[in-house]
């Protein structure tokens, strides 16, 4: 990590850089050569179904487990614990000491990251107040509802003002109201320059929040980069409604065009929209409506990760919704 | 904290230790932990006291007298005159029957019918006493009865010159026997304390896994620091416990006065022995605690913990027996084995401190035990990271196959 004249540590261009990460358990390869480049200040999603290797990848990035192969640099450091004070982590399995008071629990998590306890207690109370939980500051964790306890842990993740925050399935188990709250919190963090990485199996969260995503399936990352680039992997979809049902203009439609009700649906031809329009007009198709829709992240996921991974993802989303 | 803002391992361990210490000390279970060892001691002492009193009142042997009144009175007066000089060697006398002149008396029948509270009966006259009782009893009392009868006849010593007393240490054999006793007592105390506390640190970690906070800890600080913090928190808790127990014993000892038995002085002297005792207790606890933490960290359920900790406890018991045996055979291969094996080393060395005044072996032994503790913690932390913190299908498969499956090295 570079330092400036005043001795302050400068943020590297990449908050996380991982090359060829591999992790095996009992001969099973959970993560198989994962490459990640997370720009500093970005909101970065790791998108994949359960069992794809998301948690294992995050644990390797955090130094909870050591990779069997590959390299990683977190905030410029090769050993994640060296920059633990600049990282916040919310694991998927959340838990705090039941007998601790809410503000003490926040201070304790901060203390683990090097924040002095007294300062942590002060900030803990202020954070609880700020998030409408001031009345619960002196309550023991066991006396809080599950949702409140989750919020307390989330505040503990942020109390030391980390430069990099890693959330493992942060939306899991939250109701719609709290999901919205968390989305706003993630955006606010990014606006302050904090790098946020979260894993999810819900495409909508990634699509709404992320600047970049890594699509992970079967321990591999077939795509990592800006969300727009992922969507551009799929050609835009054309939706056409014509007065004439047949005619010479039909020859201008691509071979994959299919009929759904009154509409023709097909991928935008590589030649672009102008030759298509010309052929439709000259062929007297009688265009009633024509729209070109950019592919969504879901379509991109199907195209990149495959049908099986997409089905698993949809099943996970269904299970989550049922919970 | 380091220059780059990172917590050092010791600073991180302190965060864990502080939390654990406060949580345990302020918990209700700590009160039971403190009171636990006091109950058997109090109950044992109470029951022992009652038993002693009952025994004292019920079976104190008494010598009966069946003589004419003047002879009986002379015998009683003679016993009282001799008692200050002879002390416990004289039996208590009780008149079971005052005989008229010429009256016949059958002492065998009286003793057989248990009509008198006496173990033997002396009849006849002071000039010709006859002692009736069991062979053992009359053997013991033949001399005292003769002495009392002589005194009753006015034939006892006219004066008892004062004896100048000069106390000295016991002889070598007695001293060695006493030091073995001290060593045994110290070993037993050490073992009981160690096992009690190691069990507590294990349940503390299992509880932590139940709280699902372990991943937060593992992400923020090295596992070595988590292990160190937990061990030292429990060590500090144990010192609080020991201070309370020692205080309670001190009060009990003051109340009991000289009634409490005292152990012979150990070879290194009491002060150093107590200091070494604390040091070896710390080492014994840290060694077994680190082992238990390693087991606890790998187990996913309390049942798994119990399954694995049981044989470990038995193995620990074996090491304790080896150390106990070794103290009776100083200088043999047994003693050296007990000293070299880390889990028996603290017990063996404490026993050595009771029997051998040399101090330098203790410095070497403490260094060796400290090294083993460091290694155990490091191995435990690595195993934890390697075998426990995994997710996804592999983790689930492993969980079903149990701990032994996880202990097998992963295929590369």
In this complex, the residue of A26, A30, A89 whose CB is nearest that of residue B219 is A89
- List, for residues B127-154, the tens digit of each pLDDT value: 899 999 888 888 888 898 999 999 888 8
CB distance A39 to A15 below 8 Å? yes
The residue of chain B nearest to residue A157, with distances taken between CA atoms, is B216
Cα distance between residue A13 and residue B68, in whole Å: 119
| Residue A220 within any structural domain of the chain | yes
Q: How many domains does chain A have?
A: 2
pLDDT score of B351: 85
Give the residue from B217, B392, B403 with the most A CB atoms within 10 Å of its CB, the best one to mutate: B392
Q: What strands lie across the sheet with A14-25, from one edge to the other?
A: A28-39, A14-25, A69-74
Cβ-based contacts of A89 with chain B (< 8 Å): 216, 219-220
In this complex, the residue of A82, A89, A108 whose CB is nearest that of residue B19 is A108
Cα distance between residue B348 and residue B343, in whole Å: 10
Cα distance between residue A95 and residue B224, in whole Å: 21
Cα distance between residue B364 and residue A135, in whole Å: 57
Confidence of residue B184 (pLDDT cuts 50, 70, 90): confident
Residue B410 in this model has a pLDDT that exceeds 50? no
Q: Does A175 touch chain B (CB under 8 A)?
A: no
Cβ neighbourhood burial of B265 (10 Å; 0-12, 13-18, 19+):
middle
Would strands A287-293 and A237-242 be described as parallel, antiparallel, or unpaired? antiparallel
Give the residue from A2, A7, A31, A64 with the most B CB atoms within 10 Å of its CB, the best one to mutate: A64
Alpha helices, DSSP H, located in chain A: 54-62, 102-112, 117-130, 146-158, 176-191, 203-209, 227-231, 273-282, 297-305, 307-322
A214 and A184 share one domain: yes
Cα distance between residue B123 and residue B65, in whole Å: 6
Among residues A133, A130, A138, A84, the alpha carbon closest in space to that of A111 is found at A84
Cβ-based contacts of A83 with chain B (< 8 Å): 4-6
- Which range (A70-79, A89-98, B294-303, B313-322) has the least confidence? B294-303
State the nearest Cα–Cα gap between A62 and chain B, in angstroms. Answer: 6
Q: Taking the CB of residue A201, how many other CB atoms lie within 10 A of it?
A: 25
| Residue A316 within any structural domain of the chain | no
| Residue A303 within any structural domain of the chain | no
Cβ neighbourhood burial of B55 (10 Å; 0-12, 13-18, 19+):
exposed
Reported ipTM: the value is 0.82
Residue with tokens 């937990």: B230
In this complex, the residue of A95, A98, A112 whose CB is nearest that of residue B220 is A112
Q: Is B215–A93 a contact, with Cβ atoms under 8 angstroms apart?
A: yes
Cα distance between residue B232 and residue B239, in whole Å: 10
In this complex, the residue of B26, B221, B411 whose CB is nearest that of residue A81 is B221
Confidence of residue B197 (pLDDT cuts 50, 70, 90): confident
Q: Does A142 touch chain B (CB under 8 A)?
A: no
Residue B337 is encoded by which pair of tokens? Answer: 């084995």
Q: Which residue has the higher pLDDT, B166 or B276?
A: B276
Cα distance between residue B223 and residue B214, in whole Å: 9
Residue B257 in this model has a pLDDT that exceeds 90? no
| Residue A302 within any structural domain of the chain | no
Cβ-based contacts of B219 with chain A (< 8 Å): 59, 62-64, 84, 87, 89, 91
A113 and A202 share one domain: yes
Summarize the confidence of residues A179-201 as an average pLDDT: 94
Q: What strands lie across the sheet with A43-47, from one edge to the other?
A: A87-90, A164-168, A195-200, A43-47, A212-217, A220-226
- Which range (A104-113, A264-273, B316-325) has the least confidence? B316-325
CB distance A213 to A230 below 8 Å? yes
The residue of chain A nearest to residue B219, with distances taken between CA atoms, is A64
Cα distance between residue B400 and residue A245, in whole Å: 61
| Residue A201 within any structural domain of the chain | yes
State the nearest Cα–Cα gap between B325 and chain A, in angstroms. Answer: 43
Summarize the confidence of residues A141-159 as an average pLDDT: 92
Cα distance between residue B316 and residue B287, in whole Å: 11
Confidence of residue B258 (pLDDT cuts 50, 70, 90): low
Question: Which SS3 state, helix, strand or coil, does residue B89 take?
Answer: helix
Residue with tokens 């160690």: B194
Q: Is A97–B15 a contact, with Cβ atoms under 8 angstroms apart?
A: no
Q: How many contacts (CB atoms, under 8 Å) link A and B?
A: 121
Cα distance between residue A249 and residue A283, in whole Å: 4
Residue A2 in this model has a pLDDT that exceeds 70? no
| Residue A139 within any structural domain of the chain | yes
A278 and A188 share one domain: no
B92 forms beta bridges with B62
Supply the range of the domain harboring residue A269: 237-293
A202 and A242 share one domain: no
List residues of B whose CB lies inside 8 A of any A CB.
Answer: 1, 4-7, 12, 15, 19, 23, 26-27, 211-213, 215-222, 385-386, 389-395, 397-398, 405, 408, 410-412
Cα distance between residue A80 and residue A77, in whole Å: 6
Q: Is B219–A64 a contact, with Cβ atoms under 8 angstroms apart?
A: yes
| B142 alpha carbon, distance to own chain's centre | 41
Residue A11 in this model has a pLDDT that exceeds 50? no
- List, for residues B34-59, the tens digit of each pLDDT value: 777 767 667 776 777 776 666 665 55
pLDDT score of B129: 92
pLDDT score of B261: 65
Q: Is B4–A63 a contact, with Cβ atoms under 8 angstroms apart?
A: no
Q: Which residue has the higher pLDDT, B179 or A54?
A: A54
Q: What average pLDDT is seen over chain A?
A: 89
State the nearest Cα–Cα gap between A120 and chain B, in angstroms. Answer: 13
Contacts of B219 (CB under 8 A, 6+ apart): A59, A62, A63, A64, A84, A87, A89, A91
In this complex, the residue of A25, A94, A112 whose CB is nearest that of residue B390 is A25
pLDDT score of A316: 77
Confidence of residue B195 (pLDDT cuts 50, 70, 90): confident
- Which range (A63-72, A313-322, B299-308, B394-403) has the least confidence? B394-403
CATH number of the domain enclosing A20: 3.40.50.300
CB distance B292 to B202 below 8 Å? yes
A183 and A49 share one domain: yes
CB distance A19 to A189 below 8 Å? no
Q: Is A112–B15 a contact, with Cβ atoms under 8 angstroms apart?
A: yes
Q: How far is CA B118 from CA B80, B108, B141, B318, in A?
A: 18, 12, 13, 50
Confidence of residue A5 (pLDDT cuts 50, 70, 90): very low
Domain boundary among A176, A192, A225: A225
Q: Does A113 touch chain B (CB under 8 A)?
A: yes
Q: Which residue has the higher pLDDT, A12 or A112?
A: A112
A168 forms beta bridges with A199
- List, for residues A202-233, the tens digit of each pLDDT value: 889 999 999 999 999 989 999 999 998 988 88
Q: Which residue has the higher pLDDT, B198 or A112?
A: A112
State the nearest Cα–Cα gap between A231 and chain B, in angstroms. Answer: 28
Q: Using the Cα atoms of residue A281, residue A286, residue A289 and residue A292 in order, give the sign of their dihedral.
A: negative
Return the top range by mean pLDDT from A211-225, A263-277, B164-178. Answer: A211-225
A198 and A283 share one domain: no
In this complex, the residue of B7, B218, B392 whose CB is nearest that of residue A56 is B392
| Residue A62 within any structural domain of the chain | yes
Residue A3 is encoded by which pair of tokens? Answer: 């330092």
pLDDT score of B399: 43
Residue A1 in this model has a pLDDT that exceeds 50? no
Which sequence spans correspond to the domains of chain B? 9-38+172-407, 61-152
Cβ-based contacts of B24 with chain A (< 8 Å): none
| Residue A5 within any structural domain of the chain | no
- List, for residues B66-121, the tens digit of each pLDDT value: 999 899 999 999 888 888 888 777 888 888 888 888 888 888 888 887 766 788 89
Q: Does A205 touch chain B (CB under 8 A)?
A: no
Q: Is B220–A84 a contact, with Cβ atoms under 8 angstroms apart?
A: yes
| B388 alpha carbon, distance to own chain's centre | 39
CATH class, range B61-152: alpha beta
Residue with tokens 């480049």: A37
């Amino acid at each position: 990590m570079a330092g400036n004249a005043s001795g302050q540590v400068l943020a590297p261009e990449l908050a996380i850089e991982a090359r060829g990460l591999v992790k095996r358990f009992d001969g099973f390869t959970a993560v198989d050569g994962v490459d990640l480049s997370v720009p500093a200040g970005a909101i970065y999603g790791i998108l994949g179904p359960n069992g794809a290797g998301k948690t294992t990848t995050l644990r390797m990035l955090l130094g909870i487990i050591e990779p069997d192969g590959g390299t990683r640099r977190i905030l410029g450091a090769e050993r994640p614990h060296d920059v633990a004070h600049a990282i916040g982590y919310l694991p998927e399995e959340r838990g705090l000491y039941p007998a601790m008071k809410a503000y003490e629990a926040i201070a304790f998590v901060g203390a683990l990251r090097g924040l002095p306890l007294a300062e942590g207690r002060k900030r803990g109370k202020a954070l609880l107040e700020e998030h409408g939980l001031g009345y619960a500051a002196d309550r023991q964790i066991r006396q809080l509802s599950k949702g409140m306890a989750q919020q307390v842990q989330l505040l503990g993740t942020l109390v030391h003002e980390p430069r990099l925050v890693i959330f493992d399935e942060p939306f899991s188990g939250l109701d719609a109201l709290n999901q919205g709250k968390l989305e706003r919190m993630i955006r606010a963090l990014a606006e302050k320059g904090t790098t946020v990485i979260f894993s999810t199996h819900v495409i909508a969260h990634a699509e709404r929040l992320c600047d970049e995503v890594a699509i992970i399936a079967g321990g591999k990352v077939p795509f990592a980069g800006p969300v727009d680039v992922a969507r551009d992997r799929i050609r835009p979809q054309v939706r056409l409604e014509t007065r004439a049902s047949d005619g010479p203009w039909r020859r201008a439609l691509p071979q994959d065009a299919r009929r759904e009700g009154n509409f023709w649906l097909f991928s935008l031809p590589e030649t672009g929209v102008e030759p298509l329009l010309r052929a439709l007009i000259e062929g007297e198709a009688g265009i009633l409506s024509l729209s070109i829709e950019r592919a969504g992240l879901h379509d991109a996921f199907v195209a990149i990760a495959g049908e099986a991974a997409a089905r698993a993802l949809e099943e996970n989303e269904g299970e989550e919704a049922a919970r | 904290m380091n220059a780059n803002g990172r917590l050092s391992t010791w600073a991180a361990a302190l965060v864990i230790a502080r939390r654990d210490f406060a949580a345990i000390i302020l918990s209700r279970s700590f009160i039971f932990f403190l009171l636990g060892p006091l109950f058997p001691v109090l109950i044992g002492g109470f029951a022992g006291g009652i038993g002693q009193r009952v025994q004292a009142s019920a079976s104190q042997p008494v010598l009966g007298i069946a003589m004419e009144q003047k002879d009986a009175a002379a015998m009683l007066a003679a016993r009282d005159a001799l008692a200050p000089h002879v002390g416990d060697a004289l039996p208590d006398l009780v008149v079971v029957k005052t005989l008229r002149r010429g009256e016949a008396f059958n002492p065998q029948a009286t003793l057989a019918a248990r009509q008198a509270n006496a173990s033997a009966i002396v009849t006849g006259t002071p000039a010709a006493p006859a002692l009736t009782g069991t062979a053992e009893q009359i053997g013991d009392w033949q001399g005292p009865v003769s002495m009392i009868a002589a005194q009753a006849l006015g034939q006892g010593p006219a004066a008892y010159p004062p004896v100048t007393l000069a106390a000295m240490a016991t002889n070598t054999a007695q001293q060695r026997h006493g030091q073995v006793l001290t060593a045994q007592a110290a070993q037993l105390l050490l073992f009981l304390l160690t096992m009690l506390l190691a069990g507590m640190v294990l349940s503390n970690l299992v509880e932590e896994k139940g709280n699902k906070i372990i991943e937060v800890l593992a992400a923020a600080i090295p596992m070595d620091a988590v292990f160190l913090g937990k061990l030292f928190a429990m060590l500090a808790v144990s010192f609080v416990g020991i201070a309370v127990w020692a205080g309670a014993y001190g009060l009990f000892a003051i109340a009991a006065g000289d009634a409490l038995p005292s152990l012979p002085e150990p070879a290194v002297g009491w002060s150093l022995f107590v200091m070494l005792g604390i040091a070896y207790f710390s080492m014994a606890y840290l060694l077994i605690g680190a082992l238990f933490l390693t087991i606890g960290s790998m187990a996913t359920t309390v049942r798994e913990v119990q399954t694995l900790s049981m044989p470990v406890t038995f193995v620990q018991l074996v090491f304790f027996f080896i150390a106990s045996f070794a103290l009776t055979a100083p200088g043999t291969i047994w003693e050296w084995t007990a000293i070299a094996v880390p889990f028996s080393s603290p017990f063996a060395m404490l026993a050595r401190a009771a029997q051998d005044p040399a101090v330098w072996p203790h410095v070497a032994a403490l260094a060796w035990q400290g090294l083993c503790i460091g290694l155990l913690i490091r191995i435990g932390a690595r195993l934890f990271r390697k075998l426990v913190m995994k997710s996804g299908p592999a983790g689930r498969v492993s969980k079903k196959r149990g701990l032994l499956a996880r202990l097998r090295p992963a295929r590369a």
